[in-house]
Amino acid sequence: MKVTVSLIKADIGGWPGHSTVHPALKERAKELLEKAKKKETIIDYYVTGCGDDLQLLMTHTKGEDSEVIHKLAWDVFYDATKIAKELKLYGAGQDLLKDAFSGNLKGMGPGFAEMEIEERKSEPIIAFMMDKTEPGAFNLPLFRTFADPFNTAGLVIDPSMHNGFVFEVWDIMKHKKVELKTPEKLYDLLALIGAKSRYVIKRIYPAPGSKNDGKGPAAVVSTEKLYQIAGEYVGKDDPVALVRAQSGFPALGEVLEPWAFPHLVSGWMRGSHNGPIMPVAERNAKPTRFDGPPRVMALGFQLAEGKLIGPVDLFDDPAFDETRRKAAEIAEYMRRHGPFEPHRLPMEEMEYTTLPDVMKKLRRKFKKL
Ligand code: 13P
Ligand code: 13P
Ligand code: MG
Ligand code: MG
């Protein structure tokens, strides 16, 4: 059976500041998606929040980029924004950059990761959601899961994965894409995705001829760049991703393993700082310190004819306590730099923040040397 999994998110108002999603917004989203389920527009859904981003996970049979599904998500965000405005939540409607829906969510503000797949005999799927960072934050952990044999034992010992994977990488500045197959193009891939603010992993496919070839992607990441759409800073592009596991794909534990390392990502306070990503339980996806540190949560499901059997809150596990402690320690270390790089982002990346307005005034005061 062909199923499409759509994870669509938007920040339509924070409670308080940029920290969480108010329960009333989630309730409204659930009501509307329950209606859509009764009408059989969607098969199933799960609503949650990650930081200040409202998350709609849906399954259906309408394929990727479906106007019906995108409009449904847009209508949910639009409707819930009315509540956000009543409650005067912070930045109510922040990610709804256009006044009316026009066919597709692309360029409209909300972020989305979608995959149409052939549902296998057993289909474990993990929904990753992040707050206070950007799509490139997925580069390192996804590389490790799908291409690093020191992370993923299956790349070495499982014949169904031994041929590797194909990475679709987007240049989000030039709007171009390239496909690179690992392990052959491993170094080329790293040359690109190490520059995580520009080159981002969009999709990962099983290698041609391997067990899951033709059954859809193994992973997909949302890559919307809000500032390019809005022309000004309107919050970071807090990303989401969907990853499939087992039986020709990495085992669940191989998908989770890279997150034991709290790597540095950009975002955090005012979308302007580097800091560690902290893997947390759903209930702890609540940035506080300096509006952070950036968070990631992972919800596991089994698909059954499109039904979402779950979630299992995968980072709600003492096995990740040390990672969280390490992330807190790194956060402390980074914070001591105050406004200095590399805690604060380099000048080029500050271009889309409020810093240029300060620079404009300063520039007039400069004298020739
Ligand atoms: P089980 O023997 O518990 O099914 O686990 C198999 C496996 O591959 C774990 O990574
Ligand atoms: P969000 O992108 O999550 O809205 O955060 C914006 C911000 O400025 C945090 O300090
Ligand atoms: Mg916000
Ligand atoms: Mg956010």
CA angle 271, 282, 85 (to 5 degrees): 60
- Give me the DSSP letters along 128-155: EEEESS-GGGGHHHHHHHHH-TTT-THH
Ligand with the closest atom to the CA of 152:
1
Q: Give the integer Cα–Cα distance in Å for 274 and 20.
A: 21
Looking at per-residue confidence, does 264 or 354 come out higher?
Answer: 264
Q: Please give the structure tokens belonging to residue 117.
A: 């797949």
Across the range 215-221, mean pLDDT stands at: 98
Is pLDDT of 324 > 90?
A: yes
**167, 204 contact by CB (below 8 A):** yes
Across the range 269-297, mean pLDDT stands at: 97
pLDDT bracket for residue 226 (50, 70, 90): low
Confidence (pLDDT) at 299: 99
Residue nearest to atom 4 of ligand 2 (CA): 235
Dihedral of CA 101/106/109/114: which sign? Answer: positive
- pLDDT per residue as tens digits for the range 91-129: 999 888 888 898 999 888 999 999 999 999 999 999 999
Nearest to 145 by CA among 197, 204, 210: 204
Confidence (pLDDT) at 71: 97
Ligand with the closest atom to the CA of 9:
4
Nearest to 282 by CA among 30, 58, 47, 27: 47
- pLDDT per residue as tens digits for the range 45-83: 999 999 999 999 999 999 999 999 999 999 999 999 999
273 Cβ contact partners less than 8 Å away, ≥ 6 residues apart: 266, 267, 290, 292, 334, 343, 344, 345
| Nearest atom within ligand 1 for CA of residue 252 | 10
Q: Give the integer Cα–Cα distance in Å for 365 and 60.
A: 59
pTM score of the predicted model: 0.97
Ligand 2 within 6 A of CB of 271 = yes
Residue nearest to atom 5 of ligand 2 (CA): 235
Q: Is the peptide bond before 159 cis (omega within 30 degrees of 0)?
A: no
Cα of 256 from ligand 1 centre, angstroms: 14
| Nearest atom within ligand 1 for CA of residue 253 | 10
Ligand 2 pocket check: which of 132, 272, 297 to mutate, most ligand atoms within 8 Å of Cβ? 132
- pLDDT per residue as tens digits for the range 4-22: 999 999 999 999 999 999 9
pLDDT bracket for residue 227 (50, 70, 90): low
Looking at per-residue confidence, does 206 or 358 come out higher?
Answer: 206
Residue nearest to atom 8 of ligand 1 (CA): 251
Is 174 among the residues known to form the active site? no
CA angle 239, 245, 251 (to 5 degrees): 115
Is pLDDT of 233 > 70?
A: no
Q: Which of 233, 237, 238, 352 is catalytic?
A: 233
Is 236 among the residues known to form the active site? yes
pLDDT bracket for residue 228 (50, 70, 90): low
Ligand 1 within 6 A of CB of 253 = yes
Share of the chain above pLDDT 70, in %: 97
Is pLDDT of 312 > 70?
A: yes
- pLDDT per residue as tens digits for the range 158-209: 999 999 999 999 998 888 999 999 999 999 999 999 999 999 999 999 999 9
| Nearest atom within ligand 2 for CA of residue 235 | 2
Residue nearest to atom 6 of ligand 2 (CA): 235
Residue nearest to atom 1 of ligand 2 (CA): 235
Q: What average pLDDT is seen over the chain?
A: 95
Is 205 among the residues known to form the active site? no
Return the SS3 of 369. Answer: coil
Ligand 1 within 6 A of CB of 280 = no
Ligand 2 within 6 A of CB of 52 = yes
| Nearest atom within ligand 1 for CA of residue 246 | 8
Alpha carbon 41 to its chain centroid, in Å, reads 24
- pLDDT per residue as tens digits for the range 344-353: 999 888 877 8
Ligand with the closest atom to the CA of 10:
4
- Residue written as token pair 């520009």: 198
Dihedral of CA 277/283/284/287: which sign? Answer: positive
Return the SS3 of 1. Answer: coil
Residue nearest to atom 7 of ligand 1 (CA): 251
Q: Are strands 295-304 and 307-313 parallel, antiparallel or unpaired?
A: antiparallel
Confidence (pLDDT) at 231: 60
| Nearest atom within ligand 2 for CA of residue 269 | 10
Ligand 2 pocket check: which of 19, 52, 344 to mutate, most ligand atoms within 8 Å of Cβ? 52
